[in-house]
Amino acid sequence: MLTTMLIGLFVALVTAEITGVVPGGLIVPAYLALYLNQPGRIAATLAAAFLALGLYRASARYVLLFGRRRFVFLLLAGALIGQVWFLIWPSLLPAALDLRVIGWVIPGILANNLARQKMIRTLAALAAATVATWALAELIAFF
């Protein structure tokens, strides 16, 4: 796990430096790489990030949210959505326990980067950095 996290930080930093696009936050690709074998958790995390982003865009019409305020709002929204998801989703679909959000801050960090950068570029950089992190971690674990 530690190796994957360190590789993920390195890959995300290199991706950001080369392309100029932060892949959803510097720590997000490492966490997604850890759960690449559980696509339901990745889908739930992306859904929570998009819900937090939608909540931010709806709230930004009425409240000034920029800089630190936006970041904290998105972190809190992502954590709140993740907590609600954790509490309500299993009661709606008991068989879908694999559809849990990864962490409490990951959706908010991802939503913040989606708000700051173009969405397609961010998601493409995130996918590339996540797969590269996973591949390098598997290669190192093999040796």
Mean pLDDT in the chain?
Answer: 94
- Give 32-69 pLDDT, tens digit per residue: 999 999 999 999 999 999 999 999 999 999 999 999 99
Q: Write out the chain in H/E/C secondary structure.
A: CHHHHHHHHHHHHHHHHHHCCCCCCCCHHHHHHHCCCCHHHHHHHHHHHHHHHHHHHHHCCCCCCCCHHHHHHHHHHHHHHHHHHHHHHHHHCCCCCCCCCCCCCHHHHHHHHHHHCCHHHHHHHHHHHHHHHHHHHHHHHHC
Q: Kindly tell me if the per-residue pLDDT of 132 is higher than 70.
A: yes
- Give 96-106 pLDDT, tens digit per residue: 667 889 999 99
Tell the residue number behind the tokens 């559809």, with chain if given: 99
- Give 4-31 pLDDT, tens digit per residue: 999 999 999 999 999 999 999 999 999 9
- Expressed as residue numbers, the domain containing 125 is 2-142
Asked whether the whole model's pTM tops 0.75, one would answer yes
Tell the residue number behind the tokens 């890959």, with chain if given: 11
Q: Work out how many domains the chain is built from and give that number.
A: 1
